[in-house]
């Protein structure tokens, strides 16, 4: 596995633990629709939460969450619409971005709830 892929997997693993510890139920990881991927699909009492995880080793080129461009958001929205339809979800959807800096002690996680909204 390429080094950047391994770093991303480590970040997603850390975020899955973080979410579970904070009361989220993990429904899927790396859910795919065509070339689009949802890193983590989680659930709370009120929401289906689509989590985009961005992992970096430092912030030299900016904060990790800055990599979630409008184009990336469109891909996430497209995949989430398919997910909601295929799984007959009735809960409200929410898009979160969680950035991770690895390695860091303590672990640096920035959870941005409602990071963006689908536009018509």
- What are the tens digits of pLDDT across the range 79-88? 999 999 999 9
What's the pLDDT tens digit per position in 18-38?
A: 999 999 999 999 999 999 999
Q: What is the pLDDT of residue 119?
A: 72
pTM for this predicted structure: 0.91
Tell me the CATH class for 3-116.
alpha beta
Confidence label for 58 from pLDDT (cuts 50, 70 and 90) = confident
Query: What average pLDDT does the segment 92-116 reach?
Result: 91
The DSSP annotation for the chain comes to --HHHHHHHHHHHHHHHHHHHTTPEEEEEEEEETTEEEEEEEE-SSEEEEEEEEEES-STT--GGGG--HHHHHHHHHHHHHHHHHTT--SEEEEEEEEEESS-SS-EEEEEEEEE----
């Amino acid at each position: 596995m390429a080094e950047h892929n391994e770093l991303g997997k480590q970040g997603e693993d850390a975020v899955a633990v973080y979410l579970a510890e904070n009361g989220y139920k993990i429904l899927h990881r790396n859910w795919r629709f065509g070339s689009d991927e949802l890193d983590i699909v989680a659930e709370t009492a009120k929401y289906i939460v689509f989590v985009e995880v961005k992992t970096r080793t430092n912030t030299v080129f900016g904060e990790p969450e800055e990599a979630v461009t409008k184009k990336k958001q469109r891909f996430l929205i497209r995949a989430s619409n398919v997910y909601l339809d295929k799984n007959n979800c009735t809960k409200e959807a929410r898009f979160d971005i969680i950035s991770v800096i690895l390695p860091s002690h303590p672990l640096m996680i920035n959870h941005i709830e409602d990071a963006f909204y689908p536009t018509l």
